[in-house]
Structure 1
Amino acid sequence: MQKQSKRLSNWFAAGLLAGCLTMTGCFAGGTDGPELSKVTGLVTMKGQPVPNVQVMFAPVADEGSSRGRTKEDGTFEVYYTLERPGAVRGEHHVQFESRGADADAIGIPRKYLIGNDGGIPVNVTAEGPNEFTFELSK
Structure 2
Amino acid sequence: MRSTRFAFLSAAILLTSGCGSSGDTPDLGQVSGIIKVDGNPTPNVAVRFAPVDGGRPSTGTTDDTGRYELVYSTKLMGAKVGTHNVSIVVQSQGDEEIDPTQMGLPTEGDTGNISDIIKTAEVTSGSNTIDLEFP
> Structure 1: which amino acid aligns with 2:38?
K
Structural mapping, 1:89-104, within 5 Å: 89-100=81-92, 101-104=97-100
Structural mapping, 1:64-103, within 5 Å: 64-100=56-92, 101-103=97-99
SS at match of 2:63: coil
RMSD: 2.6
Partner of 1:122: 121
Task: Count residues with an aligned counterpart.
Answer: 106
Moved over 2 A (4+): 103-110, 114-118
Looking at structure 2, the residues matched to 77 and 48 of structure 1 have their Cα atoms a distance apart, in angstroms, of 18
Identity of aligned residues (%): 30
SS at match of 1:79: coil
When you count helix as a share of all residues, which structure comes out higher? 1
TM-score by length of 2: 0.67
TM-score by length of 1: 0.66
Structure 1 residue runs without a partner (length 5+) = 1-24
Larger of the two Rg values belongs to structure = 1
Q: Looking at both structures, which has the greater relative contact order when contacts are Cα pairs under 8 Å and sequence separation is at least 6? A: 2
Structure 2 residue runs without a partner (length 5+) = 1-19
Cα 1:75–1:31 change in 2 (3 A) is farther
Looking at structure 2, the residues matched to 107 and 120 of structure 1 have their Cα atoms a distance apart, in angstroms, of 16
